[in-house]
Amino acid sequence: MANKKTGIFITSFIVLTWSCDTHDNPFAILTTDDEEIVEKAYSKTYMYPPGFKFQQNLDGSVYYENTVSIRASQTAWIELSTHNRQQAKSWSEISSSTSAYYRNLTEERETEKYFEFKRVYSGNTKDVILSRVHKDSYFVPDFDKLNPTNVIGTLKVNPINKETFKDFVEYIWTSYTIGYTGKVLEYTVTDYPDKVRCNLKSIHVSNGDFGLCDIIEVKNFDFFADKQSGIVTFQSNTIKEIRGVCR
């Protein structure tokens, strides 16, 4: 009987010790690949792999004007596009005028992809919005953040190839156009006779409440551009979830 009790005690101790160890150190049983994912997920400096283009040292928060921000709709959230600078400026003005407080227009600029209007709140000059509108000569959005489908919009560049589509995916990813953005683990672009595909894998940390662990989600995105029509679609799915830091 003593040996039986001793065995039960030892087994219970091992289970309890394992539970405590994995709670205090949730990375103890991770694979090498998972360890790299966790490291990048919690890194203060890592965002994108080498070669992934993104804007740095912005002097404000980027915001793309949309059907909700200009009060054109409350049931659809689609980013706006135009070829007319004054139209874009008007939308930016409506958005600022109907916000919680008005931000003054201090600078204007444009690129091949968008019109931009820098707006600063007079009550706090550190409160800066870079109000943007897509140029419809580059991209016409169709993605509705309130009623999402797999259609993002129409890419207007010619030709659509690996280089131009890579540039586009980097643009919409960092612009929050599909309502999702996160650290990019890796991405590849493949050219086919009728379309171009960009495969992107990302990571996102969902913080756990007190007594719970973070969840690190690894997602797969496939973006496609039809070379004939320019229509861009995407598919996404969760590859895995890794337990992160426990609170």
> In this model, does residue 5 exceed pLDDT 60?
no
Mean pLDDT, range 156-166, rounded to an integer: 98
Q: Which whole number is the average pLDDT over 71-88?
A: 97
Return the structure tokens found at 3: 């040996």
Q: What is the pLDDT of residue 13?
A: 32
Counting DSSP H helices and E strands in the chain, the numbers are: 4, 11
For the chain, the average pLDDT equals 89
| Statement: residue 59 has pLDDT above 50 | yes
Query: Cα(41)–Cα(185) distance, rounded to whole angstroms?
Result: 9
Residue 24 CB-half CA count within 13 A: 6
What is the pTM for the complete model shown? Answer: 0.85
Torsion of CA 31, 35, 38, 39, to 10 degrees: -170
Distance, in Å, from the CA atom of 228 to the CA atom of 78, rounded to the nearest integer, reads 24
Instruction: Quote the DSSP letter at residue 9.
Output: H
Per-residue pLDDT for 2 more than 60? no
What per-residue confidence (pLDDT) applies to 169? 98
The pLDDT tens digits of the residues spanning 98-115 come to: 999 999 999 999 999 999
Q: Tell me the one-letter amino acid at 219.
A: K
Is the pLDDT score of 11 beyond 80? no
Identify the pLDDT of residue 22: 44
pLDDT at 25: 52
pLDDT at residue 27 tops 80: no
pLDDT tens for each residue of 84-95: 999 999 999 999
For every residue of 187-229, DSSP letters joined together read: EEEEE-SSEEEEEEEEEEEE---TTSEEEEEEEEEEEEEETTT
